Amino acid sequence: MKEAMFYKRLNNELVQCQLCPQLCAIKSFERGKCGVRENRQSNLFSLVYGKIAAMAVDPIEKKPLYHFYPNSSAFSISTFGCNMSCLFCQNYELSQAPKPNKPVYGHLLEPEEVVKLAIDKKASIIAYTYSEPTIAYEYYFDIMRIAKRHGLRNVFVTNGFIQPEPLKKLKGLLDAANIDLKSFSDEFYQQICGARLQPVLDAVKSYYELGVWIEVTTLVIPGLNDDFEQLNRISSFIASISTEIPWHITRFYPHYRMLDKPETPAESLLKAYEIGKQNGLKFVYIGNIMLGRNFEDTFCPKCGEVVISRQGFSAQNFLKRGGVCPRCNARVAGRF
């Protein structure tokens, strides 16, 4: 347990957490919506500091990050908790476990020990993933500073629900992020995720402006975010920031509290792919499904050459040093 970095004291022993846009006003000995930040007599504490709920060595392609040091190994870690409550959550055992006011468990590891483990496992990247990294901010912030001193890179797999100040404080520490843009409907965010759309849009822009390499993922759910307007607005928004931001379109499978929806038809994913391309996105990928052609390869946006070929989570990188196409010498966006 460690005192939180972003909060202010209100009247009557209330504190307001200012880490994410939930801006929870928390009574004494109660928690915020994430389930892991608690008011102890007008002091806000992180209950997950030093507590690892899951860890594994993953290929960076699994995050998914396709334009960030292909074939690198990422030491992936997670705590419990999340500041959203998505009805379709793929990792609800981690994200929702502490809610409401349930015990917060984890394997006790100091930040120095996490970095040592990553080095021992020959990982060049630490990925803060599986559940939302924002809610473990203090712990991950300390890990990231130590990781940087050892030459490791840091990546978030995040829902993008974070306030501007803590996000800015990550400049120089965070190297890349895959950000979920779940919908372009505030109603969707409120009813399905217990959050709001605009702060996520603001965060996507801020991550990019901070120099963090970003890729965006949308889980396409039948009847909820798979119509032309939604897909068009999502891809247009991404393109308005940069047409070089990769967009990952992934297939939905019934899970958690959304068992009544069918799997995403291939036609919906192909439609999203075409919409993204029509809106100028240079790199659009389809995941979580096997199709007739490989929609996970990276093509040179100038000449069309396959510059990174992928099978599952393995990648064969044909780019020359600096991310240059071997055929036409055009630069491919990313970190290579």
Q: Which domain holds residue 196?
A: 51-296
Rounded Cα distance, 173 and 41, in Å: 32
Q: Are residues 233 and 87 in the same domain?
A: yes
- Number of domains within the chain: 3
Could you list the pLDDT tens digit for every one of the 336 residues in the chain? 899 999 999 988 999 999 999 999 999 999 999 999 999 999 999 999 999 999 999 999 999 999 999 999 999 999 999 999 999 999 999 999 999 999 999 999 999 999 999 999 999 999 999 999 999 999 999 999 999 999 999 999 999 999 999 999 999 999 999 999 999 999 999 999 999 999 999 999 999 999 999 999 999 999 999 999 999 999 999 999 999 999 999 999 999 999 999 999 999 999 999 999 999 999 999 999 988 778 999 999 999 999 999 998 999 999 999 999 999 999 999 999
Alpha-carbon torsion angle 185, 190, 194, 200, nearest 10: 40
Q: Are residues 216 and 268 in the same domain?
A: yes
DSSP H helices in 84-227: 92-95, 111-120, 137-149, 164-168, 186-188, 197-209
Q: Are residues 117 and 252 in the same domain?
A: yes
- Indicate the pTM of the whole model: 0.97
Q: Are residues 9 and 111 in the same domain?
A: no
